[in-house]
Structures are given as structure tokens and as C-alpha cells.
Structure 1
Amino acid sequence: MLSDEQLFSAYQKLWINRSFSNQDHLSLKEKLTQAIQKDLQDEMTHPRVRKSPEVKYELAVQRIQNSNLIHSEQLALIDLYTKLLKNC
């Protein structure tokens, strides 16, 4: 099982340009959860062209699987995305 720090680091390797400014009061787990929820809701896209959470999930899983992350990092990120998709 990966630590929150390892999981957060793996996420940052995939999504290099994501910023987490103004979130200093949050734990790494909370920052990561918020970033993934934001991604699944496609909040960084104009409302008229947003994709569904299921489509965003599929795209994220593909990106994770095609990455150079080690297998345990890939599985942990996919697991977290899966858990958070259920809450969308």
C-alpha cells in the first residue's frame, strides 16, 4: 500500500501542470481527492463541452495505464479514481 505522499507524487507525475496553490491547509490525501473529483467533474473545461464523469474516468485510467508509473502506483491511482467515481 502506498503512502499518501507516494500517491500524491504519482498523480503529479501524470498531471504535471496541475497546481495546488491556496490549499496549504489541506492534507495530501485531501488535495489529491479534490483534484481527482475536479477532474472527474471536468471542472477545468467550459460547461458546454464537459464530458461525463464516466468518460473522464476512462480517459484517466487509459492515461494511468499508459504511463511510466510503477504498477503499484498505477493500481493505487486507478483504485482511488474508481472510489471517487462512485461518489460523483
Structure 2
Amino acid sequence: MFLHIGQTEIIPQRQIIGIFDLDNASYEKRTREYLANAEEDGVVLDIAGDLPRSFVVCDHPYHKQIVYLTQIGSRTLGKRAVSGKVVFE
């Protein structure tokens, strides 16, 4: 199964480690540090095109992890993942 996470990005669900709301998660110091370190490591892909609403952490064959910033909310992504539907906006 695959999950459409925004723009033209579709990822295999088996690679997803977590889907996080950016507003709620960014309050935590550890989350801010994690995102800053991921940015420094060059493993953050901003596919939001505008203001990101959530981020998706995934396993990646060439990196330890990859972080996608997306304009789609975490609830919507979660519902898509559970339903198993690949929805394009």
C-alpha cells in the first residue's frame, strides 16, 4: 500500500515511521532538535510548497531516515493510511 503525502510524493506505507502534526510537535524541545538535526543532515524534503502542516518520518534505503514536510494535515494523512486509499488532491 502507498500513501500520497502531497504534491507528487507517494510513499510505501511500510516505510512510514510516524506522522506528526507540526504545530503540536514543534512545542517540544526534542522535536525541534530532531528537525534541526535532520535539516543539517540534509534529509528533510519540503514538499509543502507553502506553509507545512505536518511532517512524515520514513525509513529510506540510502539514509537512516528521511523527513517530509507536507501541507496535508496529520489527521488527513492518518485517515488515508488507515483507509488504504491513495487520494490525490
Higher share of residues assigned strand: 2
Which structure is higher in helix share? Answer: 1
TM over 0.5: no
